[in-house]
């Protein structure tokens, strides 16, 4: 029994450490905000699972018991395994990559934690302590967020607080869980009785609300409001007799939420809202705004993918294949490589088909049922948990899960599985002590082996690659007499990273192998000989070719290697790969434009114009009036300007005549940016401004040119004076 208690407290300790996983930021790895958390969680989950198995073998009290939550979660996990096996890329479905660290391997670890916690922690009182522990630990996350807010710590994403997550969306869902945990702790029956404790919890909730607001995450705020509204409405209908104070508070809360939403709608165009960067972001919510339009298009792409594989889906982590195959040209100007639908329901529809989505919804249904029917909790407590589930679901309409949200969701599942279950007859039998001892010894031996094979190669490859990139960045600071040895050590480390055969081979090969190739290729001969450079370049391209062979249906892999080859001057093979990328994603304009530029490098100007024009004509709707297509026209014109200057001038004249001045201005300014040492580019831009009646901009452009081209200062001054006196010596350029 003493050993059983030790094993049980090890599991409690591991759970406490899992609550610290969101704080992990491992700068020694690629994607430090993601990989460190994932590897830490996996190791803790593996230890917890093995310890629980040993405990369950020793004591039948800690073996699994049946509940609808357990049945639905198990069915969902098993079904995902089947979908992954028959999906587009089973290997990627199982292991994921460094940027996401999701995959079936992560689902299995979450399931393991769910089983262990749901079998060991069984009482309401114990789970209250778990929730309180997480809530107290969350204060540390608030501290990290406020460090960013007051400028003591760098923010990763443009002014939106992200604490230790590197992404404000991930911090926002963490806030949601702890806001509801805090509300539960305040109203939990016979748990926290002292008012000053409850006041303190209330203050922490306020801080979580403030940080959530500062993440500027619209989906999360809508989720919070929806969850609070649901909890409030349920309280109105269920708590009048149980707790009249809660009933009154709920009526007031629901009224405030309704008044806030309605009131905001009427003042969203006011100066106060428009001048507030957070409120303005909410005021911009509409079906036609940039991000909303992109989300809707993304959802429609997902639906096309679902129609192709409706039953079992494409497997986890394979949405990129769907996005490439069914890419809609109207997506131009947004992210070119989506790997998630940004809607959890459609994400699971793609990953597991209609069966996967149905089982996912059944998991939620069984959870809500278990919460509602658990009489150990008051109506108020149950309603808060249901509000949390609703809030979590609403925010997931607009985003996707991450490591931390997964952890807390599976813990929530474990809470209500553990308290409403029945014994499973097969697990009631006592086991032979000698057999238990033998299996226990075997498990203790197997544990480090499992940890090593699950995590070591991926972790070491990531660490080695980031060290290589850091060394590469510091190459200029290495003393000349030490540079050759430094470079040789760097190449050795790069080779070492490839030898680990990491599951995230694309990221290792692109970031850790190909990117260094450009720097190494430019080193002088006395540091790295031509033969050594070529040897490394051949090695790098061999690695990328292996990546293409292992993943022949991935447009991004072909595209990236095509760009690399083009940068090294191998335009023929670059064209082959870029053409392959276009064939895999025929409607993605960015691929067509890259192929067009490659044709220019090959000297085939007519083909370049043809491909660029096709890319422009792929655009859906009226390309002449939709502002987002101005940039596409600019890309098209960049190709035309190099291939046929006469045609370029003709097309510009047509646009000016039609009054589409914005795109012409964008194009001419882009040419100035790309070729800043050509005075004629400035003259062309100035002449355009003069032609369309923008004398101020014309003079400003000429003054900029005067500063840059000192040798032509007198000539430019003369032109400026002529313009100021009403003479146009630039002539009608277009």
Token couple for 557: 């892999």
> Does residue 185 belong to any structural domain of this protein?
yes
User: Mind listing the pLDDT tens digit for each residue in 500-524?
Assistant: 888 888 888 888 888 787 778 777 8
Distances from the Cα of 99 to the Cαs of 96, 142, 383, in angstroms? 8, 25, 36
Q: How many domains does the chain have?
A: 1
Q: What is the DSSP secondary-structure string of 151-197?
A: TSS--SBTTB--TTTSSHHHHHHHHHHHHHHHHHHHH-TTT---HHH
Domain assignment present for residue 657? The answer is no
pLDDT digits (tens, 9 = 90+) for 8-45: 999 999 999 999 999 999 998 989 999 999 999 999 99
CA distances from 497 to 31, 108, 491, 510 (A): 16, 27, 10, 12
Predicted confidence band at 474 (pLDDT cuts at 50, 70, 90)? Answer: confident
Q: For residues 662 and 627, is the Cβ–Cβ distance under 8 A?
A: yes
Q: What is the pLDDT of residue 227?
A: 96
What counts of helices (H) and strands (E) characterise the chain? 33, 2
Which tokens go with 578?
Answer: 């870029």
- pLDDT of the residue at 441: 94
Q: Which residue has the higher pLDDT, 230 or 464?
A: 230
CA atoms within 13 A on the CB side of 666: 17
pLDDT at 289: 57
What is residue 625's predicted lDDT score, i.e. its pLDDT?
A: 47
Tell me which DSSP letter residue 636 carries: H
Residue 81 has pLDDT above 70, yes or no: yes
Joined together, the tokens standing for residue 173 give 């869902």
| Inter-residue contact 108 to 102 (CB < 8 Å) | no
**CB 40 within 8 Å of CB 164:** no
In a domain, 384, yes or no: yes
Residue 345 pLDDT: 93
Interior/surface letters 27-40, b for 16+ CB within 10 angstroms, e for the rest: eebbbbbbbbbbbb
Contact 135, 177 (CB under 8 A): no
Is 150:446 a contact under the CB 8 Å cutoff? no
Question: How high is the pLDDT of residue 284?
Answer: 66
For the record, the structure tokens of 675 come out as 């070729």
What pLDDT is attached to residue 624? 47
Looking at the domain assignment, is residue 283 inside a domain?
Answer: yes
Q: Give the whole-number percent of the chain exceeding pLDDT 70.
A: 95
For the segment 40-61, what is each residue's pLDDT rounded down to a tens digit? 999 999 999 999 999 999 999 9
The predicted model gives 370-380 an average pLDDT of 93
Q: Is 289 left (phi over 0), alpha (psi -120 to 50) or beta?
A: beta
Q: Is 660 part of a structural domain of the chain? A: no
Lookup result for tokens 């057999």: 435
What is the value of pTM for the model shown? Answer: 0.90
Lowest mean pLDDT among 130-144, 355-369, 618-632: 618-632
pLDDT the model gives residue 623: 47
For 231, counting Cβ atoms within 10 Å of its Cβ (0-12 exposed, 13-18 middle, 19+ buried), the class is buried
Per-range mean pLDDT, top range of 463-472, 571-580, 685-694: 571-580
Residue 341 DSSP label = -
Question: Distance (Å, rounded) from C-alpha 23 to C-alpha 387?
Answer: 26
Mean local confidence (pLDDT), 405-418? 96
Phi/psi-derived region of residue 729, left when phi > 0, alpha when psi is between -120 and 50, beta in every other case: alpha
User: Of the given ranges (25-29, 428-432, 644-648), which has the lowest mean pLDDT?
Assistant: 428-432
Quick check: 1 pLDDT over 70? no
Residue 562 lies in a domain: no
Least confident range of 43-52, 116-125, 283-292, 442-451: 283-292
Region of poorest pLDDT, from 279-283, 338-342, 365-369, 722-726: 279-283
3-state secondary structure of 360: helix
Is 670 inside a domain boundary? no
707 part of a folded domain: no
CB under 8 Å to 387, separation ≥6 — which residues?
Answer: 180, 227, 228, 229, 230, 231, 232, 234
Q: What is the largest CA-CA distance in the chain?
A: 105
- pLDDT-derived band at 279, boundaries 50, 70, 90: confident
Model pLDDT for residues 513-558, shown as the tens digit of each residue: 887 877 787 778 777 778 887 888 888 888 888 888 888 999 999 9
pLDDT tier, 410 (very low <50, low <70, confident <90, very high otherwise): very high
Question: Among 631, 641, 564, 549, which residue's Cα sits nearest to residue 598?
Answer: 564
Instruction: Write out the residue range of the structural domain in which residue 19 sits.
Output: 2-427
Q: CA of 471: how far to CAs of 70, 312, 514, 519, 522, in Å?
A: 49, 45, 15, 11, 16
Grade residue 296 by pLDDT with cuts at 50, 70 and 90: confident
Partners of residue 422 on adjacent β-strands: 66
- Percentage of the chain surpassing pLDDT 90? 54
Whole-number average pLDDT of the chain: 89
Query: Pick from 3, 97, 111, 131: which is nearest to 48 by CA?
Result: 111
């Amino acid at each position: 029994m003493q050993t059983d208690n030790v094993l049980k407290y090890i599991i409690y300790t591991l759970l406490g450490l899992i609550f610290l996983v969101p704080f992990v930021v491992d700068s020694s790895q690629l994607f430090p905000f993601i990989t460190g958390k994932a590897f830490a969680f996996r190791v803790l989950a593996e230890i917890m699972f093995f310890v629980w198995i040993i405990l369950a073998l020793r004591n039948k009290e800690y073996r699994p018991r049946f509940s609808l939550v357990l049945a639905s979660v198990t069915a969902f996990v098993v079904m995902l395994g089947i979908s992954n096996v028959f999906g587009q890329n089973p290997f990627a479905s199982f292991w994921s990559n460094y940027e996401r660290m999701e995959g079936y391997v992560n689902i299995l670890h979450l399931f393991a934690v769910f089983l262990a916690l749901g079998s060991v922690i069984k009482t309401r009182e114990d789970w209250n302590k778990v929730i309180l522990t997480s809530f107290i630990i969350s204060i540390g996350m608030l501290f990290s967020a406020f460090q960013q807010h007051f400028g003591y710590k760098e923010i990763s994403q443009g002014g939106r607080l992200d604490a230790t997550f590197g992404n404000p969306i991930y911090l926002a869902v963490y806030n949601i869980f702890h806001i509801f945990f805090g509300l539960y702790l305040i109203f939990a029956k016979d748990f926290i009785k002292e008012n000053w404790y409850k006041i303190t919890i209330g203050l922490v909730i306020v801080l979580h609300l403030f940080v959530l607001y500062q993440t500027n995450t619209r989906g999360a705020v809508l989720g919070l409001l929806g969850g609070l509204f649901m909890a409030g409405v349920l309280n109105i209908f269920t708590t009048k007799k149980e707790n009249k104070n809660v009933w009154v508070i709920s009526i007031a809360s629901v009224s405030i939420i309704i008044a806030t939403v309605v009131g905001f709608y009427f003042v969203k165009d006011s100066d106060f809202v428009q001048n507030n960067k957070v409120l303005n972001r909410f005021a911009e919510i509409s079906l036609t705004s940039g991000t909303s339009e992109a989300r809707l298009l993304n959802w429609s792409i997902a639906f096309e993918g679902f129609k192709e594989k409706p039953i079992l889906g494409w497997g986890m982590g394979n949405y990129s294949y769907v996005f490439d195959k069914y890419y809609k040209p109207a997506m131009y100007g947004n992210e070119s490589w989506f790997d998630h639908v940004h809607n959890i329901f459609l994400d699971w529809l793609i990953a597991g088909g209609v069966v996967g989505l149905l089982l996912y919804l059944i998991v939620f249904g069984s959870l809500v049922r278990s919460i509602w029917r658990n009489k150990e909790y008051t109506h108020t407590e149950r309603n808060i948990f249901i509000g949390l589930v609703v809030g979590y679901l609403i925010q997931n309409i607009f985003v996707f899960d991450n490591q931390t949200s997964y952890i807390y969701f599976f813990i929530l599942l474990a809470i209500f599985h553990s308290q409403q279950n029945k014994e499973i007859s097969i697990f009631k039998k006592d086991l032979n002590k000698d057999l238990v001892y033998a299996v226990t010894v075997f498990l203790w031996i197997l544990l480090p082996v499992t940890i090593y094979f699950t995590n070591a190669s991926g972790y070491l490859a990531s660490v080695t690659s980031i060290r290589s990139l850091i060394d590469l960045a510091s190459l200029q600071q290495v003393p000349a007499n030490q540079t050759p040895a430094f470079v040789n050590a760097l190449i050795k480390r790069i080779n070492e990273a490839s030898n680990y055969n990491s599951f995230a081979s694309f990221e290792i090969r692109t970031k850790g192998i190909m990117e260094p190739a450009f720097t190494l290729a430019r080193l002088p001969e006395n540091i790295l000989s031509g033969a050594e450079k070529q040897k490394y370049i051949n090695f790098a391209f061999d690695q990328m070719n292996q990546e293409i062979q292992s993943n022949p249906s991935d447009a991004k892999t072909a595209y990236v290697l095509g760009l690399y080859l083009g940068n090294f001057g191998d335009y023929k093979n670059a064209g082959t790969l870029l053409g392959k990328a276009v064939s895999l994603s025929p409607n993605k304009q960015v691929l067509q434009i890259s192929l067009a530029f490659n044709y220019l490098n090959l000297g085939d100007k007519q083909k370049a114009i043809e491909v660029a024009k096709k890319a422009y004509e792929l655009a859906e709707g009226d390309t002449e009036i939709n502002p987002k297509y101005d940039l596409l026209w600019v890309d098209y014109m960049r190709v035309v300007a190099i291939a046929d200057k006469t045609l370029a001038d003709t097309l510009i004249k047509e646009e000016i005549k039609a009054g589409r001045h914005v795109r012409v201005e964008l194009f001419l300014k882009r040419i100035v940016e790309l070729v800043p040492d050509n005075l004629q580019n400035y003259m062309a831009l100035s002449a355009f401004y003069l032609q369309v009646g923008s004398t101020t901009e014309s003079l400003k452009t000429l003054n900029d040119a005067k500063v840059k081209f000192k040798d032509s200062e007198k000539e430019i001054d003369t032109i400026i004076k002529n313009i100021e006196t009403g003479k146009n010596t630039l002539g009608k350029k277009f």
